[in-house]
Structure 1
Amino acid sequence: MRYTVTSRGDDTSNALRKKVDKYLKEFGLTEDSETPEIVITIGGDGTFLHAFHQYSNLLSETCFVGIHTGHLGFYADWKPEEVEKLVIHIAKTPFQVVEYPLLEVVVRHYDRPQSDRYLVLNECTIKTLEGSLVCDVEIKGEPFETFRGDGLCISTPSGSTAYNKALGGAILHPSLASMQIAEMASINNRVYRTVGSPLILPQHHTCLLKPLNEVDMQITLDHKSIVDQCIKSIQCRVAEEKVRFARFRPLPFWKRVKESFIGE
């Protein structure tokens, strides 16, 4: 099996990376950072997100597994003291592949004909660098509302526990093929109205955002950020591609939610 190991870059994560690499080579696995069959991330959920985007062109061939060297994460769920156990699993045990949906974001521009397509694991946000965001929102090709406020967050089910939750969005099980739209401080008065509640859209529905004010738009795609004044529209839908996790043991999602937000 071909593997690669990525690290957050701190001393603890780098030392653990060397250990994992040494163990896997002793088991006869091949290190391959170009076309790995399994990507092992060491750090936290942020390290996992970077690795996902690095290998997003190999999603049908690559599985991911994360080791955390800080707080327990939703993606990095193996502990440093479990490294030997994980390495033996990778080398000796046929693993279960679990697939979760992703978000497809297509950005169209006024100043050039080609559009830009992105895959997102957690969320896409749309804001402006100054003033309020004003944009028409279409759902499934039909006008829905004109949004005015700080911005919008469109998240995947697995990203629903991140920024989306902080905005009051619902926590969704990551197996649900859907996306969620949450508002950031919408303006609601006698003149301007929005629905005011998070929206959960199924796989076959598309959300189209059309900015109405000519200001610099800031679009974030997980940890990446784009600033552009000539954005014509932003189209979001559940992607055809999925992220694949290598699962070696049961990992109850709601247990992780409880441990992360409620505690024992």
Structure 2
Amino acid sequence: MTNNTIFFFEPNNKNSKKITEDLVNLFSGLGVTTVDNCNDADIVASIGGDGAFLQAVRKNDFRSDCMYIGIGIEEKNYMYVDFNYHNLSEIRQVFKTNNFETRSYPVIEVKVNNNQPNYCLNEFTIRTSLVRTIMMDIYIDDFLFEHFNGDGIVISTPTGSTGYNKSLGGAVVDPLISAMQVTELGSVNNNNHRTLGTSFLLSKARPLTLVIDQSDDYYPIMSMDNEALSVQNTETVRIKLSDKKINTIRLHNNTFWHKTQRNFL
């Protein structure tokens, strides 16, 4: 993978021009040319927090033939963002000496009804939009695992396990494990309805299918990472780990677990 061209992604162009100009000049000094089209870039750099990083990956169609980096502009800890605008010397040193390793993050593929698949890096969420529960049959492969009745389901990648999934009591999963995690939202468990009641992991070989109960109009809300997915008359949702993977950098002493410790401990 070459690192000769770079594209800077700024959601809503809300950051100052000086930030971008400083970054353009920094990479120019390293022999990396800034391009205006993300499809022409070897490096796609988001400017902002983890939300900006997720948008950059989505807007660039989850390309696996480039490297994504995140450049924060606030003094905060992030899960996807490795660099900070206030420490340009670190960026210069890392790219000047190639003092990093490439790491790959798994991506979830979601196919609603017979539509084209969508992808997410963090999590896919389906939940009721009404003040009542949603019912669906949950299949693992072709096996009917359970009849779900509750507020919804969150399916997360290992890197996404520290987000919404963690707030629901799900486990934090090492990104080296190729699996997706299924976590319930407000499930109903009584004499009439029964679910597993805990998060579980599925390997890449085990796709998940949600069949929405059609006896009533549920109008579920679906989201991919930090963006809503607008689909009417949802009947089936098929979720699996994709063959797609996104590449980013791994700095020394800055693994997923280093970041987890900084953010939560």
Structure 1 pair 260–248 and aligned structure 2 pair: CA distance change class (3 A):
closer
Sequence identity (%): 27
2:8 equivalent in structure 1: 5
Q: Partners of 1:106 and 1:189 in 2: how far apart?
A: 31
1:215 equivalent in structure 2: 218
What amino acid is aligned across from residue 61 of structure 1 in structure 2? D
Q: Given the alignment of the two structures, is residue 122 of structure 1 paired with residue 122 of structure 2, yes or no? A: yes
Contact 1:6 1:39 survives alignment (8 Å): yes
1:111 equivalent in structure 2: none
Contact 2:124 2:225 survives alignment (8 Å): yes
2:156 equivalent in structure 1: 155
Deviations 1:202-259 (A, max 9, x none): 1110110000043212110111212434112101111101010123434222221121
Q: Partners of 1:30 and 1:228 in 2: how far apart?
A: 39
Q: Partners of 1:20 and 1:150 in 2: how far apart?
A: 44
Q: Given the alignment of the two structures, is residue 253 of structure 1 paired with residue 249 of structure 2, yes or no? A: no
Q: Partners of 1:83 and 1:248 in 2: how far apart?
A: 15
1:73 equivalent in structure 2: 78
Deviations 1:85-113 (A, max 9, x none): 213433552742111111111111xxxxx
Question: Tell me, which stretches of 5 or more residues in structure 1 are unaligned?
Answer: 109-113
Q: Given the alignment of the two structures, is residue 184 of structure 1 paired with residue 185 of structure 2, yes or no? A: yes
Q: Given the alignment of the two structures, is residue 84 of structure 1 paired with residue 89 of structure 2, yes or no? A: yes
1:19 equivalent in structure 2: 22
2:66 equivalent in structure 1: 62
Structure 1 pair 64–115 and aligned structure 2 pair: CA distance change class (3 A):
same
Q: Partners of 2:232 and 2:9 in 1: how far apart?
A: 35
Structure 1 pair 7–88 and aligned structure 2 pair: CA distance change class (3 A):
farther
Question: Tell me, which stretches of 5 or more residues in structure 2 are unaligned?
Answer: none
Contact 2:73 2:86 survives alignment (8 Å): no
Q: Partners of 2:96 and 2:10 in 1: how far apart?
A: 20
Runs of 4+ in 1 over 4 A off after TM superposition: none
> Hey, which of these two has a bigger chunk of strand by percent?
1
Could you tell me the TM-score, scaled by structure 1's length? 0.90
Partner-residue secondary structure (3-state), 1:220? strand
Q: Partners of 1:218 and 1:44 in 2: how far apart?
A: 25
Q: Partners of 2:85 and 2:65 in 1: how far apart?
A: 26
Partner-residue secondary structure (3-state), 2:258? helix
> In the TM superposition, what is the alpha-carbon distance from 1:52 to its structure 2 partner?
0.4
How many pairs are equivalent?
255
Q: Partners of 1:92 and 1:151 in 2: how far apart?
A: 47
> In the TM superposition, what is the alpha-carbon distance from 1:77 to its structure 2 partner?
2.3
Partner-residue secondary structure (3-state), 1:25? helix
What amino acid is aligned across from residue 218 of structure 2 in structure 1? V
Q: Partners of 2:149 and 2:19 in 1: how far apart?
A: 47
Could you tell me the TM-score, scaled by structure 2's length? 0.90
Q: Which moved more, 1:174-183 or 1:25-34?
A: 25-34
CA root-mean-square deviation:
1.7
1:145 equivalent in structure 2: 146
What amino acid is aligned across from residue 70 of structure 2 in structure 1? G
> In the TM superposition, what is the alpha-carbon distance from 1:44 to its structure 2 partner?
0.2
What amino acid is aligned across from residue 3 of structure 1 in structure 2? I
Q: Partners of 2:55 and 2:28 in 1: how far apart?
A: 24
